[in-house]
Structure 1
């Protein structure tokens, strides 16, 4: 889950109130300007212009749909294990802008917009939560086949971490290491009495009122004031991306990613229960991931995500490699809040994968040579 669950509730409600009241003035009645695919493309291009290692930008066919994909350092694909990056709720490839060049320094990196998000196709997902999840997962597998990837490191943030885990359960043979950056959807929902003690009554009332709507319906209702709404609710994003992006680019990007047809957003709502818990928590399925597949959790120390889940996974998968990294000073957007530290952890993981693959190849080569030598000795006798 991305920026929407990182809000200060009072600030969010007050900002929405300000935006709504501004609609009521006559001067705004005729200023409505809807979003478009072209506007999203334009603002994303402004972001991607920062990339130095960009090799390809393309729509990858996935049955009757298309998944928008960017590829960096394509020429290194045969030399090192590729890295595949899966964004979180409400995001897209542009949010990785501070990481793409660094992570692709010596390997190929693939980043794509999940089906139903960003510039990818926005189909109507199944209303059954398990089937909606499967549609996400199967689209990733079809994407993998289309780009002809055999082995890769898979990294997902927030909702992307949830889906990356589900993918590793269903299609584990291609995943060399699973990296979960502040993943959403792992813990079970606490008992009702505990949740009521934790949340103020006005928040529960507000949640009940907006329950029939998709999570970001208010952002779309804001129309041309959407970027302003994002800016008021999350002013910290300007500073977070200030080293690479100027003016309101990041706010415009988030707005145009989410102001169009709420396809993936509706699927996400189908997969959740109030207040933002997964209907089928991933913690109950982690033992379904093959024990030989190593996992790494990367948490921000200031994130709202419950990082004790990582320790629970480590306990229940005691026959598997499970590492937990906590980045001090980072929030839920751990990859953007502390990009240098985050990238250093991810690159070390990828280098370890390369090293282990090289060792396995060397062992296989030695075994083949040994069999050949034994065969030659038998023939000589």
Structure 2
């Protein structure tokens, strides 16, 4: 039922044999999440045992444990590795009510004083832990400090009551908290040294942040499988039950919370496919992490109906919201089998490039991947992101 950040009914991996006889993985396009019949949802496998589901339920109020266990698979957390790379989890208070932004920060030099900054933003329903397979490759870039954060109301960040009643209030909810986090971390003064990689609905929120708040808020913005850029060019089938729940702003995660001790078992229907290509230990820990954040109190997830209509169609397309105001460079990345339409990135790039009189925005398609490029084609995604980091350093040197 999910639409953006954790969406994907079945991200299948097919085996194929290359000309040299080696077996390789090929990505098979997954079903658009809003196109899954209700009967299909509950005729699939829930592989997690009842015993394991009950064990996870016992930690339902402590998602930070699941996050810690997951991140501990990295060689530099919780202790520095042999090269001196270090990482830590921070909770930065952002208001007088005690709300905070959860962050995983990595320092290749071990002193957290690198001159350049990469900020990683998740999509709808997601959290920083979903970037597990990207952190090691990025941490090898010695001049970069990596900041992966959970947006307010998501992941292991605070989960205050969601109070947005219209588009402006919804965007202010995220923009205000993000702006305060930037200020408190001193990153508002490092905009010329900052690269932002944002996925799905997180990309939309970063785009609108730049348009509404600060067009120069970073050096370059990577819009990875961005949501709500244009309206659908082709009709997407939406089951009646789905449209009704959507219009009532009933979150898909309420199913997990409503399942009590069987919530983790319910999540295993999705996680067993989404993390199937990873090692058994990584898959197991990512499942527990996903359950932990999906089962947390509903908060930021309730923004969805304000920004998207049933079928994940944009109510307020970014292309119509003044994308030309952005002063940073941009790159729009789509999986070859993405259900986000690359035409959105093309239209936005044309607007920006024509008005700026130079090519500062481009579009890239990534093979063997769908909406979750960072998990579908890990090697390619990591290589592209590292190249962006190195290119930014070269620009600074010239």
Please tell me the TM-score bracket, short chain as reference. Answer: 0.7 to 0.9
TM-score (norm 1): 0.81
5+ residue gaps, structure 2: 11-30, 47-53, 77-84
In the TM superposition, what is the alpha-carbon distance from 1:290 to its structure 2 partner? 3.1
Match of 2:219 in 1: 176
Does residue 267 of the first structure (1) align with residue 314 of the second (2)?
A: no
Does residue 37 of the first structure (1) align with residue 71 of the second (2)?
A: no
In the TM superposition, what is the alpha-carbon distance from 1:34 to its structure 2 partner? 7.1
In the TM superposition, what is the alpha-carbon distance from 1:111 to its structure 2 partner? 0.5
Structure (1 or 2) with the greater helix fraction: 1
Does residue 229 of the first structure (1) align with residue 266 of the second (2)?
A: yes
In the TM superposition, what is the alpha-carbon distance from 1:209 to its structure 2 partner? 3.4
Distance of aligned partners of 1:15 and 1:288 in 2 relative to their CA distance in 1, 3 Å threshold: same
TM-score (norm 2): 0.78
CA distance in 2 between partners of 1:315 and 1:16 (Å) = 44
Q: Of the candidates 163, 169, 177, which is equivalent to residue 131 of structure 1?
A: 169
Distance of aligned partners of 1:287 and 1:14 in 2 relative to their CA distance in 1, 3 Å threshold: closer
Does residue 240 of the first structure (1) align with residue 277 of the second (2)?
A: yes
Q: Of the candidates 72, 84, 95, which is equivalent to residue 49 of structure 1?
A: 72
Match of 1:165 in 2: 207
Query: Cα RMSD (Å) of the superposition?
Result: 2.7
CA contact (8 A) 1:15 1:233 kept: no
Match of 2:7 in 1: 4
Does residue 317 of the first structure (1) align with residue 340 of the second (2)?
A: no
1:278-327 CA-to-partner distances (Å, cap 9, x unmatched) read 32211212534334x21011111112111121111122122341122211
Query: Does the residue aligned with 1:156 lie in a helix, a strand or coil?
Result: strand
CA distance in 2 between partners of 1:84 and 1:331 (Å) = 22
Instruction: Decide which moves more: 141-150 or 222-231.
Output: 222-231
Query: Does the residue aligned with 1:340 lie in a helix, a strand or coil?
Result: helix
In the TM superposition, what is the alpha-carbon distance from 1:263 to its structure 2 partner? 0.2
Query: Does the residue aligned with 2:230 lie in a helix, a strand or coil?
Result: coil
Match of 2:394 in 1: 355
Q: Of the candidates 177, 183, 188, which is equivalent to residue 231 of structure 2?
A: 188
CA contact (8 A) 2:105 2:148 kept: yes
Greater Rg over alpha carbons, structure: 1
Q: Of the candidates 294, 317, 320, which is equivalent to residue 258 of structure 1?
A: 294
Query: Does the residue aligned with 2:321 lie in a helix, a strand or coil?
Result: helix
Q: Of the candidates 60, 78, 98, which is equivalent to residue 92 of structure 2?
A: 60
Q: Of the candidates 138, 144, 161, which is equivalent to residue 103 of structure 1?
A: 138
Distance of aligned partners of 1:45 and 1:31 in 2 relative to their CA distance in 1, 3 Å threshold: closer
CA distance in 1 between partners of 2:298 and 2:394 (Å) = 42
